[in-house]
Amino acid sequence: MEFHTSELLLTGSNTKTTINDLKGSVVIVSFFQTWCGPCIQEMYVFDEMLASVNSSNFKILCITDEDTNRINKLQSRFTPDKIMFAFSLKSLASLGIHVYPTTYLLNKKGEVIQSKLEGYNWMLEKETIKNLLAE
């Protein structure tokens, strides 16, 4: 999928990265917009999941193409350094993302295991994530 190699800018640290750089970790990737209610609800679940799963090999990356000031304002509502927020240099529409949130669960190889649209309670996948971490 094209979004694996699309260049991202991590907000807060201004570090350039790609989703492929996170291989070796189990990753939830969520494409979001700051105005999207289900996106924000999903992020609160992510915060809870990170505490619950408690593994340095489990990462959550939230990506938008919105202005970084809006991202920073949203990011300040969550535990610092837990959820990674990133600005996509390409528009989400150009990456084929048209529904928010569009969220993927990736295994350590970067393969998509699940995808969900319009918000999901990812706590329901806690066992799946623990199994992927154990692989």
Could you tell me where the DSSP H helices lie in the chain? 37-53, 68-75, 126-134
- When pLDDT is averaged across residues 2-20 and rounded to a whole number, the result is 84
Q: Rounded distance, CA 56 to CA 69, Å?
A: 28
Tell me the whole-structure pTM to 2 decimals.
Answer: 0.94
Report the alpha-carbon angle 25-30-31, nearest 5: 135
Q: Rounded distance, CA 30 to CA 78, Å?
A: 15
For the cut 90, the answer to whether the pLDDT of residue 31 exceeds it is yes
60-115 tens-digit pLDDT? 999 999 998 999 899 888 876 789 999 999 999 999 999 999 999 999 999 999 99
What is the pLDDT confidence band of residue 5, given thresholds at 50, 70 and 90? Answer: confident
For the cut 90, the answer to whether the pLDDT of residue 40 exceeds it is yes
